[in-house]
Amino acid sequence: MTKIAIKTTLTFLIFAPLVSFVLLVIKGLPHFAIDHPIDVLVWVYQATSLPALVSGGLLAAVLAGVQPRIGFFTEPYDFGRCFSLGAIAGALAEAFSTAAYRALTHHPFSGFLIAEAMIAGAITGAVIVPILFHGLEGNLRLR
């Protein structure tokens, strides 16, 4: 299970900030940032990497708790259950870690930041949990 925990944590660290950046672009960058998308991407990674790392660890803990019931998610193959577990656990983990990080570091946060964190966590979790549970080679076991 440690390989799954490491993969989950690192994947969250990479993809949750990337999803946050895409959501920020979709919302609309401020006029002064439109010409500097790389700088904005670097800023987003700086601002969201620690909460994403914690979120990946929290999701890995959820997956460790689910492991005894892995058959419910893999036999027969049920993509919907994996997708839902990843989306819900990812969203809650990302929202919790973002709110805690912002409160501990005394950074202001808004409803948009928490909503963006939940969406980023849901998308990232929904994508990585089925992949981790089923593997790219069709392996149905986590062991």
Name the band, by pLDDT with cuts 50, 70 and 90, for residue 57.
Answer: confident
pTM value? 0.75
* 114-140: pLDDT as tens digits: 788 888 888 888 888 887 776 633 444
CA distances from 59 to 11, 18, 97 (A): 11, 18, 11
Mean pLDDT of the chain: 79
Share of the chain above pLDDT 70, in %: 83
Task: Sort 25 into a burial class: Cβ within 10 Å, 0-12 / 13-18 / 19+.
Answer: middle
For the segment 41-54, the average pLDDT, to the nearest whole number, is 85
Question: Rounded to an integer, what distance in angstroms lies between the CA atom of residue 79 and that of residue 73?
Answer: 7
Hey, what's the torsion of the CAs at 21, 88, 129, 84, to 10 degrees? -120
